[in-house]
Amino acid sequence: MFCRYRSQLRHSTSGAILLMVLGLLMLLSFLVVVFFKNLTQDIKVHAQLLDNADLKHHAYNGLNVVWTGLEEILEVHRDLFSPLQGWDKVISTSKIEVPEGVQLKVRIEDESGKIPLNNPDKRLLLNLFNLFGDYLDSQALMQSYLQWLRRKPTKVTLMENRTMLPGSSSQKKNAADKKAVAENKNKPEDAHGNKPPGVFLPTCLNNYQQLAEIESFQKRFFNKGSFCDDTLKRLKECTTLLGSLPININTAPKDVWACLSKVFSIDLEQVENFIGKTKQSQSRGRYYKNIAEINKRGHGNLKLGQHSSENEKANTSHDVAEKFIGVSARMLKVEVEVLRADVSYTLTAIFKVNKASVQEKEDKQPVKPLTNKKEESYNKNKPVQNNGASLVLIALQEGRWES
């Protein structure tokens, strides 16, 4: 009987030890799993940081290739009229080396092909807001927006809120710009209440979210759970916070053409066929090289101004087409995106088409490199010298340009 008791005691002790060993094994297994999980995350983070540096290198490289390619187009065509000149092909036609598994995407958007909201014309605003409601709604939107713009004097602009390159035109005005502003400062508004060219309203719209401060815009564009998200997107597609009049008709969206056609006599159907906006004409789109070409081709009946010095003052109050309509880009937004697997890096740059004389460009200091890397393959020290025009980088930002 004593032996039986000792045998039972030995079995219970062995079971307890076995349970303890199993518990320790489970604890060790759990700790090992947690350790490897944290180690894997650290490795991913470290690899992603290294990958971002590599992608950043390719993004800056791609930006410089686009910059050089666009200036070569400027040199050949003497102007930037339309993407039909091959804006989107500068990467594919270049000898840039992109490693296998890396995708390089470039998007070029002409901000001068949209209706400017920071230097607006009342009739264009009225026709613009008429796209989102009836005449009374558009009147209310226009009046409330203009009143909001005049709410208080300030010199803060969108450009000053972004990353700037040293010596950019937004940080330091040259003497010619100051002289032009001084000459136009005391000029009265014209018959339609528009400011003279080169003089902006006292306040500016820095981003579209600021429109929510206006009650009528809050109801029209920002009500959640309705169609307002689509209307705000449509508003962004046909307006700009960067550009100013005149509007480049070669890159203008359909809504912008519709607004212009209510101010001037324009045949929208013929225009869309000419610039390749219809399905039938997509493969044979062209662009206008001057405003008079619209009248010559029978696509409209625009009133063109006389550019002689004698009639210059007489035409300032007339609705000459050149005040509203242009044929070339003056402000470009270039977005370069580099992707590798699920990691991406985006770089956004704002370029101004500077039509300065060759002598003026020779007097300018060389543009500083975009990065401090030593690779000569993507260091751009100076813009390409061409027929009196060049691209000037005025703003640079990592990531997408959110407005």
Instruction: Write out pLDDT tens, residues 61-105.
Output: 999 999 999 999 998 888 999 999 999 899 988 888 888 888 999
Count of helices and strands (H, E) across the chain: 10, 10
Q: What was the pLDDT predicted at 69? A: 94
- pLDDT in the model for residue 388: 59
- With beta carbons less than 8 A apart as the criterion, state whether 105 and 337 touch: yes
Residue 258: is its pLDDT beyond 60?
yes
Which of 141-155, 176-190, 242-256 is predicted with the least confidence, judged by mean pLDDT?
A: 176-190
Burial 193-223 (b: 16+ CB within 10 A, else e): ebbbeebbeebbbbebeebeebebbeebbbe
**In this structure, how many other beta carbons lie within 10 angstroms of the beta carbon of residue 87?**
23
What is the tens place of the pLDDT at every residue in 150-184?
A: 875 544 444 434 444 444 444 444 444 444 445 54
Rounded to a whole number, what is the largest CA-CA distance in the chain? Answer: 132
Would residue 368 be called left, alpha or beta, if left means φ above 0 and alpha means ψ between -120 and 50 degrees? beta
SS3 for 105? strand
Residues 115, 247: contact at Cβ < 8 Å? yes
Q: What is the CA radius of gyration of the chain?
A: 30
365-400 pLDDT, tens digit each: 444 444 434 333 344 444 444 455 789 999 999 998
